[in-house]
Amino acid sequence: MAHGLNGDALTEFLINGNIDEINKLIQFIHPTDILLAISQYEGNIIDLFQNLSPNIIADIIDEAEDEDKYNLLSIHSEIIQKKIIHEMSSDELVDLLESVSEDEAKNIMIKMDKEDVDGVKELLTYPAESAGGIMATEFISVKENMTIGDTLVYLQKEAPEAETSYYIYVSDENHLLKGVISLRDIVVSSFDVRISDIMNSNAMSIPVDMDQEEVGHIFEKYGFLTMPVVNESMQILGIVTADDIMGILSDEHTEDLYRLAGLQEDEKVTGSLKASVSSRLPWLFVNLVTAIMAAATVSLFEGTIQKVVALATFMPIVAGMGGNAGTQTLTIIIRSIALGEIDAKNSKKILLKEFGVGLCTGVSVGIAVALLGWFWEKNVVFGVVIGLSMVLNMMAATISGFAVPVVLKKLDIDPALASAVFVTTVTDVLGFFFFLGLATLFLPFLV
């Protein structure tokens, strides 16, 4: 934490510190650290805000969880709330409005300037998880016929209100994106040089309707700090910044992780018992149905199991190893789908590769378990049965680990949400079927 202040020391500093000292040092303290101090403070949290300026409070509110944003705003007086809202950027205001009820949103918009209201209303028309839904409209744009001297004068006036001024976008009279120029290039160039002479006319942009996860992958690939958002006519509408994308990618990764486990992404360890039960129970019932399907498959071979009791000992091995193989493939494929690495051109190649992986790993594990079965039962046929069933099930597991998420994606169903259930069903049902079916086929040699 900045300046060696722990939570208690920061709290003491914010409440009892000299106002001049707070104003001097607060710029070196990250809003997240202040937010942590607020969450740990047992007194009236308004005490922690009394010496902070509206722009700092706006930054703190932006760092808060969605369900806490309005509470942190509403504890202030109406006058202070209006000042805080005025300091918030357009994308921050959209995040705030989307996290509150309709009545609370109206209460916030009453305190906004008409220009801000019009801008935010326009942003709210875009899907929340699109580039338009996450962009900020406070950006700096210059004309290509401006000189560096003109630009520097313009920046001194406009930069303080912008979301970021590291990159300056160049547009024409119709706001069409013409290029981009870095602040560094502006600073090192002579005053009489024109923007058109040093700008990069190959500026990459983001379509306004692009999904936020795809936007995140572009930022990851190219390492940009900001990117312009454009409409179909290439008019620049706003910008997306790297700090926003970091939060989005973190949320997307958390969502995928939770969904793979059959959990709602908004479930928290500090949440209520009711919320956790309602989040987990539906998928447990889905898993129960798949378990019944596996049990039904086993019941078809009860006679075989009664005659060769050792089969019951090895059944969990076949199903479990198939499940592990399926999960490995599933994890790789879901991640690749999320990153856009699988398309119509390479899907066949990837499927063949996964088939080969299933065959190689299945044969390797199958040989090991065959030797174990032979040693366990002193029966070579028993070893062949379990070894062969292991090969078949691990091949089925890797194929299903590829096919299930790909098919679900084509059906516009989130692969992370439902794939694990289907893959587990395949490996359990087919694993038992292969093992017990082969055992029934070779039953005379096993008894």
Please provide the DSSP assignment of 415-428 as one string.
Answer: HHHHHHHHHHHHHH
Q: Helix H segments across 3-53?
A: 7-16, 19-25, 31-40, 46-49
CATH at residue 222: 3.10.580.10
Same domain (yes/no): 118, 146: no
Residue 6 lies in a domain: yes
Q: What's the total number of domains in the chain?
A: 3
Same domain (yes/no): 212, 278: no
Same domain (yes/no): 148, 109: no
Contact 298, 432 (CB under 8 A): yes
Cα(289)–Cα(287) distance, rounded to whole angstroms?
A: 5
Residue 308 lies in a domain: yes
Amino acid making up residue 214: E
Contact 253, 261 (CB under 8 A): no
- The residue among 96, 128, 160 that closes a domain is 128
Q: What is the pLDDT of residue 338?
A: 74
Same domain (yes/no): 428, 299: yes
Residue 261 lies in a domain: no
- The residue among 190, 218, 241 that closes a domain is 241
Residue 265 lies in a domain: no
**Residue 18 region by backbone torsions, left for phi larger than 0, else alpha for psi between -120 and 50, else beta:** beta
Q: Quickly tell me which residue has 């160049």 as its tokens.
A: 170
- The residue among 194, 223, 241 that closes a domain is 241
Residue 114 lies in a domain: yes
Same domain (yes/no): 331, 435: yes
Q: What is the pLDDT of residue 1?
A: 45
Q: What is the pLDDT of residue 389?
A: 95
Give the 3-state secondary structure of residue 241.
Answer: strand
Q: What is the pLDDT of residue 243?
A: 80
Cα(150)–Cα(154) distance, rounded to whole angstroms?
A: 6
Same domain (yes/no): 281, 147: no
Q: What is the pLDDT of residue 30?
A: 84
Same domain (yes/no): 337, 418: yes
Same domain (yes/no): 333, 438: yes
DSSP per-residue string spanning 344-383: TTTHHHHHHHHHHHHHHHHHHHHHHHHHHHHHHHT-HHHH
Same domain (yes/no): 93, 29: yes
CATH at residue 356: 1.10.357.20
Owning domain of residue 35: 2-128
Same domain (yes/no): 356, 416: yes
Same domain (yes/no): 296, 149: no
Cα(362)–Cα(372) distance, rounded to whole angstroms?
A: 15
Residue 433 lies in a domain: yes
CATH at residue 26: 1.25.60.10
Q: What is the pLDDT of residue 88?
A: 87
Cα(384)–Cα(435) distance, rounded to whole angstroms?
A: 10
Same domain (yes/no): 230, 333: no
pLDDT in tens, the chain (447 residues): 445 566 678 888 888 877 878 877 887 888 888 888 888 888 888 888 888 888 889 888 888 887 788 889 999 999 999 999 988 888 888 888 888 888 888 889 988 888 888 888 888 888 888 999 888 888 888 898 899 999 888 888 876 666 566 788 998 888 899 999 988 888 889 999 999 899 998 889 999 999 888 898 888 888 888 899 999 999 999 899 888 888 777 777 666 666 666 566 665 665 677 777 776 777 778 778 888 998 999 999 999 999 998 899 899 999 889 989 988 998 889 888 877 788 888 888 999 999 999 999 999 999 999 999 999 989 999 999 999 999 999 999 999 999 998 998 888 877 876 788 888 888 999 999 999 999 999 999 887
Q: What is the pLDDT of residue 161?
A: 63
**Please, what's the largest Cα pairwise distance for the chain?**
96
